Amino acid sequence: MANHLAGERSPYLLAHADNPVDWYPWGEEAFEKAKREDKPVFLSVGYSTCHWCHVMAEESFENERVAELLNAHFVSVKVDREERPDVDAVYLAACAALNGSAGWPLTVLMTPAGEPFFAATYLPRENRLAQYGARDQLGLIELLNYVAEKWTRDRGSLLRTGADILRYLRRSSHDRGGADAGELTAKTAKDLQESWDKEYGGFGTAPKFPSPHKLLFLLRYAALSGDKTARKAAEHTLQQMYRGGIYDHIGGGFCRYSTDREWLAPHFEKTLYDNALLAYVYTEAWESGHMPLWRKVASETLDYVLRELRLPDGGYASGQDADSDGEEGKYYLLTPEDVASVLGADEGRHFCECYDILPEGNFHGKSIPNLLINQRWSFVPEGYAAYRERLRDYRAARCTLRRDDKELSAWNGMLLMALSRAGAAFGEKRYADAARALGGWLLRKAGADEPDTMAAVCYGGEKDARFPAQLDDLALAALGFLELYRLDYDSALLQKAEALADAILRDFPASEGGFARNSARAEQLILRPQEVPDGALPSGNGAAAVLFDLLERLSGREKWREAAEAQRTFLASRMSRYPAEAAFGMLALLSRVYPTQELVCAAEDIPAALALVTGRYAPALTVLLKRPQDAALTAFAPFTAACRGETGKAVFYPCSGGTCRTPYSL
């Protein structure tokens, strides 16, 4: 018999609809039941492509004994963290406060009022004894039995714990640092360089995440400051990630993170946001030096997204699962026999030598293709492209990858940034066309054309009104439209971005500065989450800072200067000790340290001469195109009103702070 998830649309929730656990989706019905029946709430948060979420589901949530305990003593609530990132943020913070770390699957026990008194990540079904010096691991069955008895006999201690945790989460925990923009950006670069793994690239040790926003900061900081070490750290990391097994050398695209320091063995799920941001960073790296490898990786990554994640309605799916036929990574792993069966003995042997596909394997008896050992292979021979395509077809025929077809506005906004950037940088029509189509999808399907009714989640191209847009949806979609402007210089896109930014200013301010994740008009949780440090994605506050900074520079208007300055000040106060943890937002502070320049090109259409300007890497430069009678641009950027072209010529106006100097023509 199906539980209460049967009517949901999330693939993750539907995967649990036939569990013997009587799951409820997040909502009033579940919490009213908990109050009525006087039971604690068992909250489980995960997502479709999460490997350990599947492990816990198979071990515990499909188990009758676990289900009996949960159904008898708890009200069980299942949440897709990608549908409800606000719920996830609140209880992830509780888990981090209790344990010093957090992740998924997230397991939380709470009162019927939503106050958490226990939080953990993956739990095995039963207690596991310590091995090799590790700590014993609490089992879910033992935990449920303990809490059920405690709720009956000593509920007061659980309630006090819940109240204490809630007080801690509501307490302002940020420092009020007074560092200026120059100190913070320099400290960001210094901290990243100190944590840079000079042997294998990346930051810190295993597990290693790509952290594209950190790489983006280093690239721009290096270009503006002349810091060669910052550039070396970024480029070394970009190269080592490409060489590693975290990059799919057969089909393109990146897995979410590496379990080891060397980037060899990933968790095999692929997400839209990682591949969008990484394609964006590799494109920018190419712009900064035109190294062919960066263009190759950016193109192969975007080609993977277009091929595997594009949906018929025009949006893009959230990601692909790590598991195939119940085995993690099975889809991606190869043996020499697999390769020989596709390419033949001789070609197969050479291919295996190149990509470290060994008889003994490099991962549980099979091999993850990689270039870590064969350092000479920055580029493989041209003929290998056809070999990779044949092996890609072989993999697809051998087994399938489950795809999460949920369409998330924030993640599609990041992809719009990447496609637009690549379309402009590479002059590739397929990326430019895809960017224009995705921009239309965000406006018409996700509802970005009407920010008040924009949705965070779409299914089948229809926005789900249960999930109104959150801070990162608005900010990242707006940044996508600003990148799309660079393709066609359609001034209406500037107005679309500004409307989304206006909605942020109106509905998302937080009481202590900056912005909350959810709108003041949305469902109110036990606290209003506010994320300042970046996670796997740029934080909403960081994205808002970059958005306001660009709007200030492009429009020259006092409104956006004030908004940008307030957000920069907020980030500086919250992140003065660890600014590298908000590297994306720190991009907005660079414009307060290094001079910026705006250039207005007045012409009848996009002139060829404009490519001479936009073709060079200049992070401090923003460009506007002023066509005759362009009322939309004049409304957005009043300082362009006096910028006029000449018949058959492009006239360029160097500007700064909304004031233009003597023009020149080409």
Tens digit of pLDDT for each residue in 514-523?
A: 999 999 999 9
* pLDDT exceeds cutoff 60 at 133: no
Shortest CA distance to 80 belongs to which of 29, 3, 13? 13
What confidence tens digit (pLDDT) does each residue in 344-374 have? 999 999 999 999 999 999 999 999 999 998 7
How far is it, in rounded angstroms, from Cα 602 to Cα 372? 49
Give me the chain's average pLDDT, please: 93
Instruction: Specify the pLDDT at position 27.
Output: 95
Across 135-147, average pLDDT:
87
160 CB contacts (<8 Å, ≥6 apart)? none
**pLDDT tops 80 at residue 413:** yes
Instruction: Give the per-residue pLDDT at 534.
Output: 95
Beta bridge partners of 660: 655
Instruction: Say if residues 316 and 310 touch (Cβ distance below 8 Å).
Output: yes
Task: Assess contact for 285 and 294: CB atoms under 8 A.
Answer: yes
pLDDT of residue 51: 87
Alpha helix ranges (H) inside 291-331? 292-308
The DSSP secondary-structure symbol of 73 reads H
Query: What is the pLDDT, as a whole number, of residue 179?
Result: 76
For residue 445, the model assigns a pLDDT of 96
Write down the pTM of the prediction.
0.93
pLDDT in tens, 561-604: 999 999 999 999 999 999 999 999 999 999 999 999 999 999 98
322 pLDDT above the threshold of 90: no
Question: What mean pLDDT do residues 176-182 have?
Answer: 76
**Quick check: 178 pLDDT over 70?**
no
- How much of the chain exceeds pLDDT 90, in percent? 85
Q: How far apart are CA 197 and CA 104, in angstroms?
A: 26
Higher pLDDT, 666 or 530: 530
CATH of 11-170, one of 3.40.50.410, 3.40.50.300, 2.60.40.10, 3.40.30.10: 3.40.30.10
* Span 461-488, average pLDDT: 96
For the segment 275-283, the average pLDDT, to the nearest whole number, is 98
Cβ 578 vs Cβ 602: under 8 Å: no
Amino acid 129: pLDDT: 63
Q: Which two tokens stand for residue 82?
A: 């990608």
What's the one-letter identity of residue 250?
I
Q: How confident is the model at residue 658 (pLDDT cuts 50, 70, 90)?
A: confident
Nearest to 442 by CA among 471, 404, 415, 403: 415
Structure tokens at 39: 């039971």
Banded model confidence at residue 135, pLDDT cuts 50, 70, 90: low
pLDDT band with cut points at 50, 70 and 90 for residue 225: very high
Residue 24 in contact with residue 4, Cβ under 8 Å? yes
Got the DSSP string for 273-288?
A: HHHHHHHHHHHHHHHH
Domain boundaries, the chain: 11-170, 181-239+406-593, 332-398, 597-665
pLDDT band at 176 (very low <50, low <70, confident <90, very high): low
Q: Is the pLDDT of residue 468 over 90?
A: yes
568-585 burial, b for 16+ CB within 10 Å, e for fewer?
A: bebbbbbbbeebbbbbbb
User: Is residue 376 over pLDDT 70?
Assistant: no
The string of pLDDT tens digits covering residues 232-243 is 999 999 999 999
Q: What is the CATH number of domain 181-239+406-593?
A: 1.50.10.20
What's the mean pLDDT in 638-656? 90
Cα–Cα distance, 397 to 85 (Å, whole number): 35
Alpha carbon dihedral 471, 475, 480, 481, in 10-degree steps, equals 120
pLDDT at 132 over 80: no
Angle, helix 212-225 to helix 583-593, in steps of 10 degrees: 20
pLDDT at 417 over 60: yes
